[in-house]
Amino acid sequence: MPKVISRSAVSSSTDAQPTASSATALRVYYCICGEFVLVIDKTLASLPQRKTDGAIIIRSQDADGEKARIFKLNAKPSDPVLVERSQGGHERQYRFRCPRCTLFIGYQSSPPPVKSAPFLYILKGALTQAQGQIPPEAFDGDEGPVSSA
């Protein structure tokens, strides 16, 4: 007698695929003030950086065969700023700020909402994975305390 697999058994086994657990591998990032700012499917450290300012590049639209990152930004849009680039030319940045302390945390090249531009840029050292901790990159370029003193 052939083995009968009921439809409900089949569908419940496909539901149990590990997609649920991989979807939960989301990273949460906070502003240095402790406010939740970003949730994303990859660590910021693993994403590429811009040559111009070292900002982390988050792809927000599918293009050129590349998939957009899955993320949600919790930030307040602020007025666009025209930034002069050393190699000549200007760049308009639509900036996002922390909703609590208004720290400038990122920008994109077109007006809000988030993801209206192909990329979202997160300022280097602006966010941390541990709530209430300052990211190690936050003081890049500053003289650190001399531990051997």
Binding positions for Zn ion, rule: CB under 5 A: 31, 33, 35, 98, 100-101, 103
**Pairwise CA distance, residues 102 & 104, whole Å:** 6
As measured in angstroms, the least distance from the Cβ of 108 to Zn ion is 19
As measured in angstroms, the least distance from the Cβ of 103 to Zn ion is 5
Which one, 65 or 136, has the nearer CB to Zn ion?
A: 136
As measured in angstroms, the least distance from the Cβ of 44 to Zn ion is 16
**Residue bearing tokens 């305390």:** 145
The answer to whether 109 and 52 have CB atoms below 8 angstroms apart is no
Which one, 35 or 41, has the nearer CB to Zn ion?
A: 35
User: For residue 102, what are the CA distances in angstroms to 35, 37, 95, 117?
Assistant: 10, 11, 11, 22
Which one, 37 or 58, has the nearer CB to Zn ion?
A: 37
